[in-house]
Amino acid sequence: MIAADLLLIAFAAFIIVGGFLAVEARNIFHNALYFGLALVGVAGIYILLGSEFLGLVQILVYVGAILVAIIFAIMITPALFLKRSPRNTLKQIVAAASGFGVSALLLFLCLQSKPVSWNQKISFTEDVFSIKQVGAMLLSKYALPFEIISVVLLIAIIGALLNAREEN
């Protein structure tokens, strides 16, 4: 097989194992670690699809900031040491049926059209570093969502600080 197939199989294995065990493991810290594995697999898929900027941003922001914040919350609140409630088997079966059933139905609807393969006729004449193109788009055509995202992040920071304050 060619190298792209091998890389796809490796990153798909990361995503499948990490994604399934992130919701199936009993210890909350193991959930967070398997979630990190799934995020690294998703970053690999981004690089395989041709956008190396997004793969690195994914590792920086998702693994480096969001996953670390989740692990902080696991460490600060004693979530690891609380006793576990007994399992509800009916709830587990209904959750699995609805989760995988809805997703299988959507996938079946998506695959009704004819299969699409990679278009070999697009020739990259100019330089195709994705960070340059994404930066140009963010500052010229999508400048308004870019500025609004900054305001949203500012409000999120202020809200998070106000929320976690102790009541005096």
Partner 1 sequence: MAGNLTTYLILSFFLLACGLYGLLKRRNLIALLISIELILNGAAISFLAFNRFLFPASNLGEVFIVFIISLAAAEAAIALSLILAVHQSIKTHNIETMDKLKG
Of 16 and 127, CB closest to partner 1:
16
Closest separation between CB of residue 77 and partner 1, Å? 4
Of 91 and 127, CB closest to partner 1:
91
Site string for partner 1, 22-41 (x = CB under 8 A): xx----x--xx--x--xx--
Site string for partner 1, 100-139 (x = CB under 8 A): x-xxx-xx--xx---xxxxx--x-------x--xx--xx-
Residue 51 contacts partner 1 per CB under 8 A: yes
- Report the distance separating Cα 165 and Cα 158, nearest Å: 11
- Report the distance separating Cα 121 and Cα 14, nearest Å: 31
Closest separation between CB of residue 127 and partner 1, Å? 13
Structural Rg of the chain based on CA atoms? 21
Residues in Cβ contact with 99 at an 8 Å cutoff, skipping those fewer than 6 apart: none
Q: How many residues bind partner 1 (CB under 8 A)?
A: 86
Structure tokens at 148: 């609004």
Closest separation between CB of residue 70 and partner 1, Å? 6
157, burial (CB in 10 Å: exposed 0-12, middle 13-18, buried 19+): exposed
Helix (H, G, I), strand (E, B) or coil at 88: coil
Phi, psi dihedrals of residue 87, rounded to the nearest 5°: -75, 140
Of 107 and 127, CB closest to partner 1:
107
Closest separation between CB of residue 156 and partner 1, Å? 4
Structure tokens at 137: 């788009």
Closest separation between CB of residue 138 and partner 1, Å? 6
Residue 53 contacts partner 1 per CB under 8 A: yes
CA atoms in the 13 A half-sphere facing the CB of 35? 19
